[in-house]
Structure 1
Amino acid sequence: MGRISQETVEKVFDAARIEEVIGEFVNLKRAGASLKGLSPFTDEKTPSFIVSPAKQIYKDFSSGKGGTVVTFLMEHEHFTYPEALRYLARKYNIEIEEDELSTEQQEAATERESLHIISEYAQKYFEDQLWNSDEGRSIGLSYFKERGFTEETIKSFHLGYSPNGRGVFSKEALSKGYVEEFLVKSGVSIKRDNGELVDRFWGRVMFPIHSLSGRTLGFGGRVLRSDAKTAKYLNSPESEIYHKSKILYGLYQAKTHVVKADKCLLVEGYTDVISLSQAGIKNVVSSSGTALTVEQIRLVRRLTNNITILYDGDAAGIKASFRGIDLILEEGLNVRVLLFPDGEDPDSFARKHPAHELEDFINEEETDFIRFKAKLLMADAKNDPIGKANVIRDIVQSIALIPDDISRDVYLRECASIMDMEEKVLYSELAQLRKKHIDDKSKRTRSDERRMEVVRDNTPPPEVLAQMYPEAFLSDAQDSLHYKQEEAIIWILLNHAADEIRYDAEPDNPENKEKIEEPAGVFVMEELFHDGFAFENAIFQKVYNIIAKQYDEDETIPSGQEFARSEDQAIASMATDLMTERHALSDWKRKEVFVTDKIVHLSRYTMESVLRFKACKVEKLIADAKEKLRDHTVEDKTELLVQISKYTAMRNKINHQLNRVL
């Protein structure tokens, strides 16, 4: 796999729209000129994730992450830099020449990359078998068509077929140069005690399980043989890339539809998702037969706050899933429930009804969780007073989990109305349950903090960490003595290098009224270019060196976006930080709070920033010279005294220009 040319990289960046790409992973809402949403990297209730379409960057104030569309894919999907570029190239139909990976390159790849490569190969192999082999067409394709799936639907979900032979796929993969170790670790192959390599999914129709960006992470396989003495459905085992508790089947295909509908439908099985999607209900996902987890709920919460759970008529299964409803409520989402008629599930119902009837049924029959839970549990309690009391307590326990005060109050009033109870009785019960819930949560937090203390106690000292992770200690970051002065210079160069400023031609001669107009970046570079001052912050120095080199060659200054696009993630992260305005997080105008934009006073700000930068550097030169002067081994101190005098004069002149009291 060759290196992607710079020309292709530029084409990808020019074509990709960061708001479109991130919008597939995060529900973004307009906030002035920017877009905001919940952080996809941390668990938060208040949006701190900002996307700037104008600058084509994002900043997550919750985790500190930020960068371009490529950086986002690297952070969120764990792509390498080339993988992120190739993903975007495919999305925007930009041609990238790729060579096949050699065996040596496969072996040299990291474990994670190798697992991804094998999973992608397996998906394509199973698809090819389904469409192009006699066995695949007669068994696998026939089965899918009997289920009513169209060819378009089968291709959309990348369904496939694994041949009915214990080692057919594994032998083929080995012959193509794929490594046995990663075939086993990915879960597509099993190594027996006698050393034989066999297929995990042989003789099954295949349901690939994708990440939010469409990468194949694992598989579900359904056996078709009626005499098979094995589980009907078989899933990939946990691996470095596949964690079933953190994945929702169909979310890759459904994500844009979930955002558009502002609602996610949750079903149980693969075929439920596929049948509903084919029927036109495309905002649907599945927990793949596992109990709903917090991680899965948070995946949905990035896209919408509304979940509707679709159940078949199995009462025992529904009661077992109540824990999932409680988890949804605790995460602050709105949950509704829909029960299909007896003997029907989403798959069978979707195949029997046209799209408009199915959509009307869902909209008309879905109900809030209180009415649903009360109806189901009261059917068991019948006229038993103790049973009724337990049902009420059960419902109030669910309401107590809701974090929003207003929503809790609304649901409690509804519960009182449904159960014909006095509100004050339920409020008393709610207060006790809320206190217990908060106390339990506090205990868990303290327990987590104690575990963190153990971790901190075992953390190597800074000097050891610096040797282990030298990249992280390249700069003194904000601990640098002159960090703010250096940051101001780089901020101007990244954000306003091309913007015109206006200043006095002779600032020390008030009689000369002549003004000079030139780009802020040119002013900064001309003032600093020949002084030879260095930045203490290593990342700032790297950026300045790049700018100075280009300015020396053609008197131009690279744009901030070029640095945000840098393959050097330290530079990209810093550039993003300085190109992101934190006040975009709030709708200040609506609150009648007005933030002064530095560009309004850019001329004055630029000149003062240059002067402050020079002042701090001159102060350091004076301090260094005085330190040398105290060195008794220096015989001729005349030159040092001359230097101190010269630097002091420079300092006085700068302080005068800054109107500082001397």
Structure 2
Amino acid sequence: MISKTTIDQVYETARVEEVIGDFVQLKKSGSNFKGLSPFTDERTPSFMVSPVKQIWKDFSSGKGGNVVAFLMEHEHFTYPEAIKYLAKKYNIEIDETEQTSEEKEQANERESMYLVSEYAQKYFEQTLWDTEPGKAIGLTYFKERGFTDGTIKKFGLGYSLDQWEAFTQSALDEGYQLEFLEKTGLTIVKEQTGGETKKFDRFKGRVMFPIHSMSGRVLGFGGRILTNDKKAAKYLNSPESDIYHKSKVLYGIYYAKQAIAKEDNCYLVEGYTDVIQMYQRGVENVVSSSGTALTPEQIRLINRLTKNITVLFDGDAAGLRASLRGIDLILEQGMNVKVCTFPEGEDPDSFSKSNTYEDLVLYLEENAKDFIQFKTSLLVKEAANDPIKRADTIRDIVNSISKIPDRIQKEVYIQECAKIMQISEEVLYNTLAQINKKEVNEASKKIKQEQKVFEVVKNDPVVEKVNIEDEHEKEILKILIEFGNEKLSIEEIYFDKEIGEEYTETVERSVAEKLYLDLQEDEIEFANPIFKETYLLLIDQFLNKESFDFAHFVSSSPKGVSNVIADLDSVENRYQLHDWKRREIYPKSKKDDLERRVQQIVISIRLKLVSDLMVSLLENASKTETNRNEMEEARDYYELKKRLAQKSALVLKDFGSLS
């Protein structure tokens, strides 16, 4: 187990904006940062990060919390994994106590798969550098590709011996379970006749390219065979598993993420060596789809870091036209896309290897074409002088333009297409309208189908109502979070027993003291368990500690509590008026209205209690004709309710006649 000292040091050192900035492109927004949600597909930023309070809130998914909560949600880390990740990022030495056998058994399956993958990466890397076959075959291959020792080590490249069980047996000897070796795809297990099993290494005799998540965890591998075995695939990837989904992974994203955000552009290539060679040459904002067709999930991964993608194609790529589908997918995601092709016979790997950094950058800048220029030049060549093919080409281009969500961009591209294809804009707009009409009709059919389901739900007599208790409890927590230590001058009403009269006295109390005493006086307890836990922790902090450190409180609170705090605080501060003084408009601050707000929530809670008692008494009275005591008591509560409502300037709902 990780010691409390280490955990405390991690929380004190880690900065939420720095950690989240490794995964999401954040932009300054007042005192906070804003970015696109990493959990949903959105185009308008609703993901907020508060450096002052060290919390984050994603309004599109409802998730929020501290820095550890983000890693647990985004990277699916366990709590210890998140702490270890932060410790590594901030160079904090981890002090661990010995785990019991029971704790070891509780390690979850995903973590076991991660551990197996990380062991495999180290094993293949060590085999490359420390064994004769590794140096003679694997290292020689990488050197022939032009990779330096530093680059090979940077990307954790390795070699798998050309032996049936070399890796598997080594992993088993180290205590790793065959179950997880098989689930990660590192080991293939086959049942034999007689109940025996045969196991062998999936990547036998291949150079190894580890595939990392955005946070740097090893998810899987790509292996390239070096022999001329026609029966074996040239490249072999890890199979799909609980930790590796090839449609959601980009090779090199871990190494490229900071450069992508900094350059505000991402180069997209096809292979592992393309990425490594360009990175080595100095162009670090480059990733690969690892030989698979580009997917929306991969594009959204880039979209977290930049809105701009430049797709790099080989000069003689046979499947160039088929690759255009990927461009349409990028456009659908609202991204800006350019395309650059290399001279015939060249690819990103070879071109980077044979050119200087300056020449490479200059070539990319001068030859990156807007997607419409590239697509028209490519398709026009195919159409030649054939009018039918030319018409199909125009329709194809307009179809791509229809994918763009931004209307202004659509219009600009229509104008550009009209010039290049020498056709009137009116014809292109009509074609675009036809495409859009078809999409609308298809969408309409889908909506009608969904509407049938909705109508069944709509007619359901069970209608969800607002939970008043929850709303009251949320309001108390919001006030405490923002103003718990603020002092109020309050007129308290006391009763003098000797003279039998009420009198008022002005006292100074903190907001936390006022709320605590009023709730205690009415014997009110929170109904929502997580709100109750949050309230008790906050009250303890305000009443028993000299000062309140919001960031430390959030970081040291249980995950559920930190999530509640992030949720309430972010909702409270999401929309704020800025720069009104310059316009000579002076809005009232929340602090100016604090005393009324505190009094109103207490009275609202009391009104709810009185209403509940009234309803209960009236229900009892209606059950018997002679029970007049309940009716009298209900009248008394009704008068009390009217006085409370008048005191707080609330409109009193009429619950019916009490006569």
TM-score range, shorter chain: 0.7 to 0.9
Match 1:545 to one of 536, 548, 569: 536
Q: How much has 1:149 moved relative to structure 2? A: 1.4
Question: Is 2:501 the partner of 1:495?
Answer: no
Match 1:167 to one of 158, 165, 168: 165
Name the structure 1 match of 2:284: 282
| Alpha-carbon distance in structure 2 between the residues aligned to 1:626 and 1:369 | 73
| Alpha-carbon distance in structure 2 between the residues aligned to 1:369 and 1:507 | 77
* Cα distance change of structure 1 residues 71 and 203 upon mapping to structure 2, 3 Å threshold: same
Match 1:617 to one of 590, 609, 616: 609
Name the structure 1 match of 2:20: 22
CA deviation digits over 1:188-217, x for unaligned, max 9?
A: 000123211111112211111111111111
Question: Is 2:334 the partner of 1:344?
Answer: no
Matches within 5 A, 1:564-579: 564-565=554-555, 568-579=558-569
Matches within 5 A, 1:321-336: 321-336=323-338
* Cα distance change of structure 1 residues 507 and 399 upon mapping to structure 2, 3 Å threshold: farther
Q: How much has 1:141 moved relative to structure 2? A: 2.2
For 1:233, give the aligned amino acid.
Y
Match 2:381 to one of 379, 382, 388: 379
CA deviation digits over 1:400-452, x for unaligned, max 9?
A: 21111111110111111111111112111111112223333444566678899
* Aligned residue pairs, count: 640
Q: How much has 1:362 moved relative to structure 2? A: 0.5
Name the structure 1 match of 2:597: 605
* Cα distance change of structure 1 residues 104 and 138 upon mapping to structure 2, 3 Å threshold: farther
Q: How much has 1:34 moved relative to structure 2? A: 1.9
Name the structure 1 match of 2:417: 415
| Alpha-carbon distance in structure 2 between the residues aligned to 1:200 and 1:571 | 45
For 1:500, give the aligned amino acid.
K
* Cα distance change of structure 1 residues 623 and 433 upon mapping to structure 2, 3 Å threshold: closer
Name the structure 1 match of 2:144: 146
Q: Contact conserved, 2:340 with 2:367, CA < 8 A, in 1?
A: yes
Give the gaps of 5 or more residues in structure 2.
Answer: 497-501, 653-659
CA deviation digits over 1:624-648, x for unaligned, max 9?
A: 567678898x99x99x999989977
Question: Is 2:86 the partner of 1:94?
Answer: no
Name the structure 2 match of 1:120: 118
For 1:162, give the aligned amino acid.
S
- What SS class does the counterpart of residue 593 from structure 2 fall into? helix
CA deviation digits over 1:261-294, x for unaligned, max 9?
A: 1111100000000111111111110011111111
Name the structure 1 match of 2:129: 131
Q: How much has 1:341 moved relative to structure 2? A: 0.5
Match 1:52 to one of 50, 53, 62: 50
CA RMSD of aligned residues (A): 3.7
Name the structure 1 match of 2:439: 437
Q: Percent identity?
A: 48
Q: Contact conserved, 1:560 with 1:579, CA < 8 A, in 2?
A: no
| Alpha-carbon distance in structure 2 between the residues aligned to 1:333 and 1:549 | 49
- What SS class does the counterpart of residue 546 from structure 1 fall into? helix
- What SS class does the counterpart of residue 339 from structure 2 fall into? strand
Q: Contact conserved, 1:486 with 1:613, CA < 8 A, in 2?
A: no
Q: Contact conserved, 2:168 with 2:200, CA < 8 A, in 1?
A: yes
- What SS class does the counterpart of residue 488 from structure 2 fall into? strand
Q: How much has 1:551 moved relative to structure 2? A: 6.3
| Alpha-carbon distance in structure 2 between the residues aligned to 1:587 and 1:441 | 38
CA deviation digits over 1:340-389, x for unaligned, max 9?
A: 00111000111111111111111111001111111112222222222222
CA deviation digits over 1:93-122, x for unaligned, max 9?
A: 122224687887665433222212211221
| Alpha-carbon distance in structure 2 between the residues aligned to 1:532 and 1:373 | 72
Report the TM-score when normalising by structure 1.
0.87
Q: Contact conserved, 1:258 with 1:284, CA < 8 A, in 2?
A: yes
Q: How much has 1:139 moved relative to structure 2? A: 2.3
Give the gaps of 5 or more residues in structure 1.
Answer: 463-475
Name the structure 1 match of 2:472: 485
Matches within 5 A, 1:254-333: 254-333=256-335
Q: Contact conserved, 1:206 with 1:222, CA < 8 A, in 2?
A: yes
Match 1:240 to one of 242, 246, 255: 242
Q: How much has 1:332 moved relative to structure 2? A: 1.2
* Cα distance change of structure 1 residues 101 and 513 upon mapping to structure 2, 3 Å threshold: closer
- What SS class does the counterpart of residue 482 from structure 1 fall into? helix
* Cα distance change of structure 1 residues 209 and 540 upon mapping to structure 2, 3 Å threshold: same
| Alpha-carbon distance in structure 2 between the residues aligned to 1:186 and 1:345 | 32
| Alpha-carbon distance in structure 2 between the residues aligned to 1:649 and 1:503 | 25
| Alpha-carbon distance in structure 2 between the residues aligned to 1:303 and 1:145 | 32
For 1:32, give the aligned amino acid.
G
| Alpha-carbon distance in structure 1 between the residues aligned to 2:55 and 2:464 | 21
| Alpha-carbon distance in structure 2 between the residues aligned to 1:128 and 1:319 | 41
Matches within 5 A, 1:469-484: 479-484=466-471
Q: How much has 1:167 moved relative to structure 2? A: 0.5
* Cα distance change of structure 1 residues 108 and 495 upon mapping to structure 2, 3 Å threshold: same
The answer to which of 596-605 and 333-342 deviates more is 596-605
The answer to which of 406-415 and 142-151 deviates more is 142-151
* Cα distance change of structure 1 residues 294 and 659 upon mapping to structure 2, 3 Å threshold: closer
For 2:560, give the aligned amino acid.
A
| Alpha-carbon distance in structure 1 between the residues aligned to 2:142 and 2:563 | 47
Q: Contact conserved, 1:48 with 1:585, CA < 8 A, in 2?
A: no
Report the TM-score when normalising by structure 2.
0.87
